[in-house]
Amino acid sequence: MIGVCIPLGPTPYPGLMISRGGSASRTATPRRYLMCPPEHFAVTYAINPWMRPGEPTDAATAMRQWAELRQIYLDLGHDVRIIEPVPGLPDMVFAANGATVVGGTVLGVRFRHPQRAGEAGAYLQWFRDRGYPRVRVPRQVNEGEGDFVFTGRVLLAGHGFRSDEAAGTELAEVFGLPVVSLRLVDPRFYHLDTALCVLDPDTAMYYPPAFDDAGRAAIAAQFAELIEAKDEDAEVLGLNAVSDGQHVVLPVQARSLAGQLRERGFEPIGVDMSEILKSGGGPKCCTLELRG
């Protein structure tokens, strides 16, 4: 499925940016994020090419790096909420996989691999306990914002390794927004958020080889401005980044990508997530945006 599932019309969520057309000016908007401390972080199984259970991990280093990321968000004026980690769920730190939230509606997740299945219920309960009025349990396999990216106009739905292609149809039904399906073809970039980052409604950065031809064409049709990541930046998950429209928090190792962002008027902020990378994650993996 490539293209729009629902005709593009006025957004049903007031306050969400829907303008189109490139702009040299960059404007930050306050965001609300959900994060989970990596108290139980470890690499005890391998479900992506980055994970090597035989190599040592350091939970204290992971916690320090995560805390630095959280502090960056706070210093930028963003609201950070915390979900308590659950013993036995070492990947629960990857809050982006916990749900998709747009306009206050929550679509839960259904994980591909049984090792992560327990996270789905923990995140759903967090939303229910806080009185979210519309919390949906998914029918299809989807891994939340790992594969679903909101541009401000449409939802991009990655598939090929984790989320089902059919999850895009369910996404359109739940949120009433257009959905564009993108096939991932490189197993190193197993989630959409490892290969593409929306910087503002008109601008994105991405790694073209992670997508098939139709996916690259669909991405080009969605954005007035595209930044292409070089191999060396993609290979440190430099695209697993978080943008508030002006500031872009990304792995500090992605130096060339940071330079391209500066040239386009963004303010890159590097953070060391090297311990988290051992599980195939970065800043975005640790961050779920709570929209509306």
User: What is the set of active-site residues?
Assistant: 191, 285
* The residue type at 265: G
Residue-wise DSSP of 140-181: S-B-GGGTEEE-SS-EEEEESSSS-TTHHHHHHHHH-S-EEE
Kind of pairing between the strands at 79-82 and 32-35: parallel
Residue (of 243, 289, 240, 250) closest to 270 by Cα position: 250
* Structure-block tokens of residue 68: 């630095």
User: DSSP label at 280?
Assistant: T
- What is the number of other CB atoms lying within 10 angstroms of the CB of residue 262? 12
Length of the chain: 292
Sheet holding 155-159, edge to edge: 148-150, 155-159, 179-183
Going by C-beta distance under 8 Å and a sequence separation of 6 or more, which residues neighbour residue 199? 205, 227, 243, 245, 248, 261, 266
Residue (of 102, 217, 83, 86) closest to 155 by Cα position: 102
- What is the number of other CB atoms lying within 10 angstroms of the CB of residue 114? 9
User: DSSP label at 244?
Assistant: S
